[in-house]
Structure 1
Amino acid sequence: MPLPMPRFHEDSLAGQLYLERGATVAEEARRYAAEHRLRPAREDSVRIAAFGIDVQVAFCTPGASLFVPGAVEDTQRTLRWLYGGLDRLTELVFSLDTHRAFQIFHPAWWQDAEGRPPPPLSVITAGDVRAGRWRPTRHPEESLAYCERLEASGRYVLTIWPYHALLGGLSHALVPAMYEASLFHALVRDTPTWFELKGEHPLTENYSVLAPEVTEVRGQKVGEFNTRLFEHLMSFDRVYVFGQAKSHCVLSTLMDLRQHIERTDRSKMGRIFILEDAMSPVPAPPLDPLPPALDFPRVADAALRTLREAGMRVVRTQDVLEP
């Protein structure tokens, strides 16, 4: 049977901004652990990680610049799942998309012939840069090389995103209700939450938590595969993945997990459990015709099918979390 919700939890808070209630959460954690006789996570015989990808205000709170439709409901389902399985979840791992104003996917990096920045969700190709339709405001040679390398990868083309997850701003923070869950889990199970920052280098996008889209530009190293995090995740018997967005950061992370599991130990593919009802795709941009690569919901659904075929498990939050 799932554990009951803690007394401070309210579904309606999942999409709201508020100051985390540290003292209230801590008091409830002491009472809850004693009442349900919960043991420290270090005593778990089966080690299970809950891996939350970019469950941040930027993507999960209505009104944020990159709010993903469906994210509030995803957060509500995830919180019920986290609390219900608190006694079996050994560790919570959260990534935090972390950006600054001047990055290659933000409007300030580019301008047209009149000096105007591109509107959000503009697509900039290497051909656009060579033709002068969009001009970088800094690092011109590297910017063109980046677009070329990104397109050659076959995963994405450069999309200009609204300013989001800016370090020091409110949108960078974990959703308050999710942060309270992380604090509650830490105190009840006597184990710290693992936080992983990603996305700070100005010359590359970092959808995946494990690696940037491009790691080298004109001989300059701009990122590398996060071996430390990968090995940490693979130390668990099961890893449940959730977060935003299904079509971008979650998908890219899962693809990197698949690739590196195949390279190291294919038998571990079944350790990855994808919580399909705890993530939503970015809506497709209003383009006609719509390039197939920008039909984000379709791309995400097709990718999940290939990941299932590769051996990952696709599950839902209401499924029983087995011990």
Structure 2
Amino acid sequence: MQCFPIPSFFESEKVDQFWRVPYQKRAEEAKEWGQKYKILPSREDKTKTILLLIDVQNTFCLPDFELFVAGKSGNGAVEDNIRLCRFIYRNLGNITTIAATMDTHKAMQIFHPIFWMDKQGNHPQAGITMISYEDVKQGRWKVNPNIANNFNISVEKLENHALHYVKKLTEDSKYPLTIWPYHSMLGGIGHGLVSSVEEALFFHSIVRSNQTQFELKGDNPLTENYSVLSPEVLKNSQGEKIAQKNTQFLNKLLSFDKIIVAGQAKSHCVAWTVEDLLTEIQRKDPSLAKKVYLLEDCTSPVVIPGIIDFTEQAEVTFQRFSEAGMHIINSTNDTIFNHLP
């Protein structure tokens, strides 16, 4: 497979900033680029490869935003995205389709501070508060009664759901309910893709005549949605469905010959998405795991110095993916596609 040079307009020092992509100019350059390097439209690819980008959004990837994924280096997501952009440009002719997931939230959701309060009416502190089943059962944290009308349900029903929710997380061995800062807010700058990545995706779509796909997740107020393929909890305390798996997108992913995964965060949304993908693969045909490639140098774990470090959990999870047959690879190897069977 041919690797291409990095376009001169790509500036690695701007990856940690947001700015307007000059679409028309990039479109004209993309057309010239495709002609210069004789890059064929993606419909002519004999091997169909999808690059799945998990939540490469400002809210997670820019240092001044709400949930910057710093990783061990302290600048993890920025460094990851520099490598990611270069990977896309070098492999314009090798990547058939790019799909980007978009974490999408509003203020009143089960993992945001306004949803909960203590006996004094104080909301939990975002970023460091985890709410367990025992916390809710014993009344240390309870549902904010003022928000129930936003979901068109009674306070009692919302309280029952909250207790059921944290219990289900425990039963399913999920992470405890974490109260996150308001982030990925629909309509806000934080929700948008990192500008440099957006530019690379747009350039790819024009060069290959292939529409970038966007998958929104996380807008259900009653459940977390780390994985793009499935919410954390699917039913309420009465057994009524509150959410459903993204079966259509899952089947689309599995229709490709190769699935390459990158994004943020390695310990959360990337891990959960790949976990759901692996579960379906093992149900259908375990050998399909060999078509999945994880760009380890384009993802970082959640690390909040002095508070929490998910590095070890992420490493253990990725090791399990490897043992299941998935490939842990490095994006900077220019012959990477030659090595893929």
TM range (shorter): over 0.9
Counterpart position of 2:87: 81
Quick one: structure 1 residues 177 and 315, their matched pair in 2 at CA, closer, same or farther if it must change by over 3 Å?
Answer: same
Counterpart position of 1:107: 113
Counterpart position of 1:321: 336
5+ unaligned residues in a row in structure 2: which ranges?
71-75, 149-157
Cα distance in 2 for residues equivalent to 1:214 and 1:317? 34
Equivalent residues in 2 for 1:108-147, closer than 5 Å: 108-121=114-127, 122-137=129-144, 138=148, 139-147=158-166
Contact 1:86 1:185 in 2 (8 A): yes
Counterpart position of 1:249: 269
Establish whether residue 279 from structure 1 lines up as the match of residue 299 from structure 2. Answer: yes
5+ unaligned residues in a row in structure 1: which ranges?
288-293
For 1:281-300, what per-residue CA distance to the aligned partner results, in whole angstroms no more than 9, with x for missing partners?
0015745xxxxxx6411100
The range that moved more, 204-213 or 114-123, is 114-123
Contact 1:8 1:24 in 2 (8 A): no
Q: Calculate the TM-score normalised by the size of structure 1.
A: 0.96
Q: 1:198 is matched with which residue: 217, 234, 247?
A: 217
For 1:13-46, what per-residue CA distance to the aligned partner results, in whole angstroms no more than 9, with x for missing partners?
2111111211221121011011111100000001
Cα distance in 1 for residues equivalent to 2:304 and 2:83? 24
Q: Calculate the TM-score normalised by the size of structure 2.
A: 0.91
Q: 4+ residue runs of structure 1 moved beyond 6 angstroms?
A: none
- What is the number of residues matched between the two proteins? 317
Counterpart position of 1:93: 99
Cα distance in 1 for residues equivalent to 2:313 and 2:30? 41
Cα distance in 2 for residues equivalent to 1:308 and 1:166? 34
Counterpart position of 1:216: 235
Q: 1:151 is matched with which residue: 170, 182, 188?
A: 170
Cα distance in 1 for residues equivalent to 2:23 and 2:327? 35
Contact 1:6 1:28 in 2 (8 A): no
Counterpart position of 1:290: none
Cα distance in 2 for residues equivalent to 1:305 and 1:62? 28
Cα distance in 2 for residues equivalent to 1:140 and 1:12? 48
Contact 1:15 1:62 in 2 (8 A): yes
Contact 2:302 2:309 in 1 (8 A): no
Cα distance in 2 for residues equivalent to 1:84 and 1:221? 44
> Any idea what SS the aligned residue of 1:301 has?
helix
Counterpart position of 2:226: 207
The range that moved more, 220-229 or 123-132, is 220-229
Q: 1:261 is matched with which residue: 281, 286, 290?
A: 281
Cα distance in 2 for residues equivalent to 1:80 and 1:263? 35
1:225 CA drift (Å): 1.7
1:141 CA drift (Å): 1.2
Counterpart position of 2:73: none
Counterpart position of 2:248: 228
> Any idea what SS the aligned residue of 2:200 has?
helix
Cα distance in 1 for residues equivalent to 2:304 and 2:276? 23
Counterpart position of 1:32: 33
Contact 1:7 1:28 in 2 (8 A): no
Cα distance in 1 for residues equivalent to 2:5 and 2:261? 22
> Any idea what SS the aligned residue of 1:221 has?
coil
Counterpart position of 1:164: 183
For 1:175-209, what per-residue CA distance to the aligned partner results, in whole angstroms no more than 9, with x for missing partners?
11111111101100001011000011111000011
